[in-house]
Structure 1
Amino acid sequence: MRIQCQGSWLYGIISRPQQPAARGVLIVVGGPQYRAGSHRQFVLLARYLAEQGIAVMRFDFRGMGDSDGEMRTFEDVGQDLSAAINFFTKECMFLKDVVIWGLCDAASAALFYAHQDQRVSGLVLLNPWVRTEQGIAKAYLKHHYSTRLFQPAFWKKLISGKYDPIASIRSLYKMIKSFFIRKKSVAVIGEGANATDHAIPLPARMLKGLQCFEGKSLVITSGDDLTASEFLDLIHSSKDWQITLEDRKVKFFHIQDANHTFSRRQWRHQVAEYTGDWLRSW
């Protein structure tokens, strides 16, 4: 199938159940991916949900995969999402509402868009991308450097001479410097009342999107992933995030051993089950 979007054609596919429910799922692609997803994750998820009676659509943004147009970032795909939902709801007349499912920066794109479209009733957000220089520096210091000393592989490399301690110290210094410098600059930006959207830090814009969204949300995070660690550190250190998540009654699941894309079958299946069960719960 193909979808008209601002003079370009978007290409995608719909998985239709034989006896569909009134709620469908739009899988949004994150990063340099196309509609199949890493290790065919989106294909398998769509088939799983379709077997549960849930119609699923997945597609390529402009400039990605088979779609026409110029490539764009996750911050500029609102028109693509709108065009996709228009097509999805017209092709599947039985749909009353749509849930957006997104991994990494696709989750961020979903938060930017969802509150603007009343047809969107829910969000499934996996390892949301909240990247800032300060945030990733903190995640590295807390979750990478602090645990590396307890890893046998680290000591084997050190003893064998394959590890460069000087380079590591320089990297650590840059991380610490970045953490404190960016902390000050972010505070200054946050005080600007007339700051444009792109001047405001990404986490603040995402929080605003969640605060404006009146639907339900499910968050799934990985235990072996710096992107997830950065997001979890953010919400654990921010009262505004904590209040909003509690107020919106956001459902959380954490898969401790999983990597960023949930690449193993057991992790992928857990994600599919969590998604399906959550969709049927309301």
Structure 2
Amino acid sequence: MIVQERALRFRCQDEWLYGILHQPQQLVARGVLIVVGGPQYRAGSHRQFVLLARYLAERGIPVMRFDYRGMGDSDGTIRSFEHVGEDLTGAVDLFFEECPFLKDIVIWGLCDAASAALFYAHQDQRVSGLVLLNPWVRTEQGIAKAYLKHYYLQRLFKLEFWKKLLGGKFNPVASIRSLCEFGKSSLYMEPAAAEDDSSSSCNLMASLPERMLDGLKHFQGKVLIITSGSDLTAREFLDLIHSSADWQKTTEAKQVEFFHIENANHTFSTCEWRNQVAEQTGIRVLSW
């Protein structure tokens, strides 16, 4: 299929933002907005976003990817994922302006871009679906538990660990000290915010997981969550769901779909993992 790729720019406040539109010749009426996560720009790690956009566009799905203010080619000062709502609004507005045949869009986000998508999606009726990869729910307690469960304890069952210990290449005192610190952190309970259904998901008084859950509760569209088996960010997110009755109840009520790639790393860096992500994304976008 013939796909046209062209550069776009749009204003957010008084600053210029830049992106790329992938527009196939034969179009479907649902597009995908790829949202950048972490300190990177619209190409993505190992050109992941470029390859994903081209995969989807070859199947008739228009795709837009762009840089937030302060990232990549865009103007302005760098900002966190918690303060990109205006950037997203501007990008969605331009996407519909450039592709007037669109009826709705799906937002695709990795790591803290998944968090930003959950904050934003329920506020924009043009967003019909979310594809969230290894969502960022980082808290001091959560990462401490993830390290204890998925790193320190697992090391005891690995031959390499015992070879280092018996060979004098392992410092048990430093490791025990680190383990104790993580243990204390995992027992620390962050103060919970008072429940208020009318509160915004951007209420910074609530913890990050609480704000993300609030966004999910208010979103009326479809959701696919893709997780990696070899990634602490994904482990922390899955541990949160498994330990929280509220998260479990909400994901079940919303009929959230899950897809897990057992050996994948955080950015799905191999061709096999990347292709699985692209295939699962394309299936959902075309079937939702």
Do Structure 1 and Structure 2 share a fold, with TM-score over 0.5?
A: yes
Q: 2:177 aligns with which of 163, 170, 174?
A: 170
1:277 correspondence with 2:280: no
Q: CA deviation at 1:157?
A: 2.2
Does the alignment pair 1:190 with 2:196? no
Letter in 2 for 1:209: G
Match among 208, 211, 216 for residue 205 of structure 1? 211
1:228 aligns with 2:231: no
Alignment of 1:37-186 (within 5 A): 37-181=44-188, 183=189, 186=190
Task: Provide the rounded CA distance (Å) in 1 between the counterparts of 2:87 and 2:81.
Answer: 10
Matched residue SS, 1:197: coil
CA contact (8 A) 1:99 1:121 kept: yes
Q: Deviations over 1:117-155 (max 9, x none)?
A: 010010000000000001001111111111111122222
1:215 corresponding residue in structure 2: 221
Q: For 1:237-282, what per-residue CA distance to the aligned partner results, in whole angstroms no more than 9, with x for missing partners?
A: 1111111111111111000000100001100000000101111222
* 1:5 and 2:8 aligned: no
* 1:192 Cα deviation after fit: 8.0
Structure 2 residues not aligned, in runs of 5+:
1-7
Question: Greater shift after overlay, 148-157 or 118-127?
Answer: 148-157
| TM-score normalized with structure 1 length | 0.96
Cα-to-partner distance string for 1:202-234 (whole Å, 9 max, x where unaligned): 000000000000011000000000000000000
SS for the counterpart of 2:60 is coil
Give deviations 1:53-74, integer Å, cap 9, x for gaps: 1000000000001100010000
- For 2:250, the aligned partner's letter is T
> What SS class does the counterpart of residue 36 from structure 1 fall into?
coil
Q: Contact (CA 8 Å) 1:189, 1:199: kept in 2 or not?
A: no
* Residue 248 (structure 2) aligns with: 242
What stretches of structure 1 of length at least 5 have no aligned partner?
none
Residue 198 of structure 1 aligns to a residue whose secondary structure is coil
Deviation at 1:93, TM superposition (A): 1.1
The separation in 1 between residues aligned to 2:195 and 2:127, in whole angstroms, is 31
Aligned length: 278
Residues 101 and 125, structure 1, Cα contact 8 Å, conserved in 2: yes
Query: Aligned-pair distance for 1:191?
Result: 4.2
- Partners of 1:127 and 1:192 lie apart in 2 by 26
Identity %: 68
Q: How far off its partner does 1:158 sit?
A: 2.0
Q: CA deviation at 1:198?
A: 1.5
1:96-116 Cα distance to aligned partner (Å, 9 max, x none): 101000000000000000000
Letter in 2 for 1:70: T
Greater mean alpha carbon deviation, residues 193-202 or residues 259-268 = 193-202
CA RMSD of the aligned region, Å? 1.5
Q: More deviation in 11-20 or 149-158?
A: 149-158
Counterpart amino acid of 1:112?
Answer: F
- Residue aligned with 1:30, SS: coil
Counterparts of 2:102 and 2:152, CA distance in 1: 48
Other-structure match for 2:23: 16
